[in-house]
Amino acid sequence: MESRWRKAKMSLGLNLCVYVPRTLDDGDSPSPGSSPAALVSPVASSSSAATSANTTPTAEQTGGKVKGGSGALMPTTPTPTSAGLRLSKSGSKSFKKTCAICLTTMKPGQGHALFTAECSHTFHFHCIAANVKHGSNNCPVCRTKWKELPFRGPLPAEFPQGSARINPVNGHQNGGQMTILRPLPRARSSGRLHHMTSLLPDTDRSVFNDDEPLDSLSEANEGSEQGCLRTVEIKTYPEFTEVPESTSERNFTVLVHLKAPLAQTLQTDSKLGDGNSLSTTRAPVDLITVLDVSGSMAGTKLALLKRAMGFVIQNLGSSDRLSVIAFSSSARRLFPLRRMTESGRLQSLQAVNSLTSNGGTNIAEGLRKGSKVIEERQAKNPVCSIILLSDGQDTYTVSPTAGVHKAAPEYCALLPYTTSGCQQVPVHVFGFGADHDSVSLHSISQTSGGTFSFIETEAAIQDAFAQCIGGLLSVVAQDLHVKVESLHPDVHFGSIRSGSYSSRLADDKRNGSIDVGDMYAEEERDFLVSVNVPPGYGETALLKVGCVYKDPLMKETINMADVQVKISRPAFVSVQSVSIEVDRQKNRLHAAEVMAEARLSAERGDLTHAVSLLEDCRKMIMGSTSGQSGDRLCQALDAELKEMQERMANRQRYEASGRAYVLSGLSSHSWQRATARGDSTDSESLIQAYQTSSMVDMLLRSQTMSRSSTPRQMRHVKSFPARPQPR
């Protein structure tokens, strides 16, 4: 059977790794040769893309298994070979007796109805009816648009005994039947052949309730760990530790610092060698990737996107689930939420590898379908997120305001909510290249509680994805809420500076709260609370801070003990300096405010004023107490503000990269979470704020995988936490 399949592939000029058709007598387990390695191969760098058709080895030339330099598996865009561009006479003859969709023999009298189209090409009736049902009105062979279309009811549950069936790409391996459109050459007016590698999406369902059930073993193991090992740490830092007893302060600042616990590790028996090994216990994830495959993504962009998705697929665990939405002029779901088991990865790699680029950019439709997958899933993993990537302007969603100062399209209504219904599912957005709509993409991330990253160079896409999933795969706290309460009858809150996190103050200004949401392992959050300080003697208790959150692995609510803030009240106070921890966070928030103000000036066309604002902010930060002490966050802010100044040197550069760079920086500092922009994922860059160990580890994996295909020099990646340093 396999040899005939290979002959059919060669005769049709196919250069694509696909399954050998299996009969009903075959078992459901994948064959030894059906490994992910048979479906993927490394992607060449952009410098060698022009010659890849002649130099890139195919799966068949290497025994069907092509790997990157580190052994990692990556999708590839099929490239035509010299053999694939010629049809032999024998191939043409056998083609007339073969269904171009299922690639099995068509013989009258075998119980299969045949359909001959007006262009004279013949197919199995059930094959072409399924093809038409999915919206294709063109001949799969010559691409002629048909006027008369075949139609039939739903496909039978089983094909007749002995007929070939295709292992489904877009469903679970439970015996369901599905027809796949195979890549076939079509003639052009010039006589050349063009290979179409489009994989038919899953059925256009009205309800997306066909997600794969969760891993029962992982559900049974949840809650087995001790909760005391997974608690969030709360620390407080008053602006000054002493205030004279007769003095009153109207705007006294207190820093509230949170730090998430380490990722939980367990010692387990190693199956790869002697002794024990450490494995990380974490909450499984439901991840939906919404990918732009419009015409502008053609070539190297699409190839590198496939490689980045291959990296994501290979680093998800068997309890994690993935669904991929591809959008251009319209959107389609490649497959439902599927567990990333060995077979799940195999099918997902094949589906991603089938992507082709064409059409316009309909971000709203892609986001709508991604939200639909989340809202209508039957089972729910504890962590859920959307990754959205686009390289262009939305050509289908009309902005509510026309003109030069048009507003970003309204995407808010399309964003899904978490299972608790109290907050939206975060959408982590990636703007790719110089032509993407950074304002709209930043708006989507900001509204949903996600981050906005700017992928300036094509080669950086995998590292950007790696940093993001490094965080998503290490969530240790969910729905975290901070509460602050006055402990003195004359102490009232003036404000809560929480960046992009929602905060509230009671009408009597005696208590307040901050909605933090999810925290990754080792992440830190800093909030500035201002209060008044009345005269007092001895010691004054100002306020107390507490927090409550849900452990996603244990599925338990954890209430942390309150932490009190007290200051000494001596009769006289000698000269004392401000707390470096408080000063550092004041600088961060001030820098974010100046970035936003400078962007508004740049949008109005006043780039000179924008650059001046950034320069004044740099001087203020480096002249502050924390800046003078050599604080790394202050140094990073200074380097970032300088980079923004350079990207605002002229209008052309601001439009190409300045706007997106500033918005990505704003996203990072307002959420206190790492985003990709410029060289922020490089090891020696100063702009590495908010990276966690999990992010750094995933970046190292990505860069190690890329080392064999790019001349990039490997260096150790340092984590840059925002941990308060001793004064």
Contact 511, 483 (CB under 8 A): yes
Tell which wins on pLDDT, 189 or 329.
329
State residue 485's pLDDT score: 98
Would the pLDDT of 184 be above 80?
A: no
pLDDT category at 97 given cuts 50, 70, 90 is low
Would the pLDDT of 672 be above 50?
A: yes
Alpha helices in 413-555 (DSSP H): 438-448, 461-472
Write out pLDDT tens, residues 197-243.
333 445 456 789 999 999 776 554 554 444 446 799 999 999 999 99
State residue 149's pLDDT score: 75
Q: Distance between CA 351 and CA 170 in Å, rounded?
A: 8
Contact 353, 75 (CB under 8 A): yes
Tell me the average pLDDT across 133-146: 73
Would the pLDDT of 42 be above 80?
A: no
- DSSP codes joined into one string, 165-176: EPPPSSS-SSS-
Contact 328, 294 (CB under 8 A): yes
Tell me the average pLDDT across 333-337: 96
Tell which wins on pLDDT, 230 or 67.
230
Q: Distance between CA 456 and CA 659 in Å, rounded?
A: 12
State residue 689's pLDDT score: 84
- Tell me how far apart the terminal alpha carbons of the chain are, to the nearest angstrom: 74
Distance of CA 366 to the CA centre of its chain: 14
Contact 585, 239 (CB under 8 A): no
Helix pair 632-647, 580-603: axis angle to 10 deg: 10
Would the pLDDT of 141 be above 90?
A: no
Contact 174, 210 (CB under 8 A): no
Burial bucket for residue 361 (CB in 10 Å: 0-12, 13-18, 19+): buried
Helical (H) or strand (E) element with 133: helix 125-133
Residue limits of CATH 3.40.50.410 in the chain: 207-229+283-473
State residue 207's pLDDT score: 84
Would the pLDDT of 18 be above 50?
A: no
Radius of gyration of the chain (CA): 29
Tell me the average pLDDT across 147-160: 52
Would the pLDDT of 115 be above 80?
A: yes
Alpha helices in 134-264 (DSSP H): 216-221
pLDDT category at 487 given cuts 50, 70, 90 is very high
Distances (CA, A) of 492 to 78, 88, 486: 66, 86, 7
Would the pLDDT of 702 be above 90?
A: yes
Lowest mean pLDDT among 77-81, 252-256, 645-649, 658-662: 77-81
Tell me the average pLDDT across 396-421: 60
Q: Distance between CA 411 and CA 409 in Å, rounded?
A: 6
Contact 400, 410 (CB under 8 A): yes
Of 3.40.1390.10, 3.40.50.300, 3.40.50.410, 3.40.50.10860, the CATH number of 207-229+283-473 is 3.40.50.410
Lowest mean pLDDT among 204-218, 334-348, 434-448, 509-523: 204-218
pTM above 0.85, yes or no: no
Lowest mean pLDDT among 79-83, 425-429, 604-608: 79-83
Lowest mean pLDDT among 273-287, 322-336, 383-397, 712-726: 712-726
pLDDT category at 89 given cuts 50, 70, 90 is very low
Tell me the average pLDDT across 500-519: 97
State residue 35's pLDDT score: 43
For 67, the 3-state DSSP assignment is coil
Q: What DSSP character marks residue 124?
A: E
Q: Distance between CA 688 and CA 644 in Å, rounded?
A: 16
Q: What share of the chain is helix, strand, coil (3-state, %, to 5)?
A: 30, 20, 50
State residue 147's pLDDT score: 75
Write out pLDDT tens, residues 370-404.
999 999 999 999 999 999 999 999 888 755 444 33
Write out pLDDT tens, residues 267-276.
444 343 444 4
Contact 102, 168 (CB under 8 A): no
User: HSE of 79 in the Cβ direction (CA atoms, 13 Å)?
Assistant: 23
Alpha helices in 234-286 (DSSP H): none
Would the pLDDT of 277 be above 80?
A: no
For 565, the 3-state DSSP assignment is strand
The vertex-335 CA angle with 65 and 295, nearest 5°, equals 80
Tell which wins on pLDDT, 349 or 115.
349
Residue limits of CATH 2.60.40.3670 in the chain: 231-266+477-576
Tell me the average pLDDT across 465-469: 97
pLDDT category at 143 given cuts 50, 70, 90 is confident
Contact 548, 513 (CB under 8 A): no
Would the pLDDT of 435 be above 70?
A: yes
Lowest mean pLDDT among 31-40, 502-511, 631-640, 674-683: 31-40
Q: Distance between CA 576 and CA 673 in Å, rounded?
A: 32
Residue appearing with tokens 């990692």: 72
Would the pLDDT of 63 be above 50?
A: no
Contact 345, 74 (CB under 8 A): no
Of 1.10.3720.10, 2.60.40.3670, 2.40.50.140, 2.60.120.280, the CATH number of 231-266+477-576 is 2.60.40.3670
Mean of per-residue pLDDT scores for the chain: 77
Q: Distance between CA 73 and CA 235 in Å, rounded?
A: 44
Q: Distance between CA 244 and CA 25 in Å, rounded?
A: 88
Q: Distance between CA 462 and CA 702 in Å, rounded?
A: 7
The vertex-165 CA angle with 163 and 167, nearest 5°, equals 160
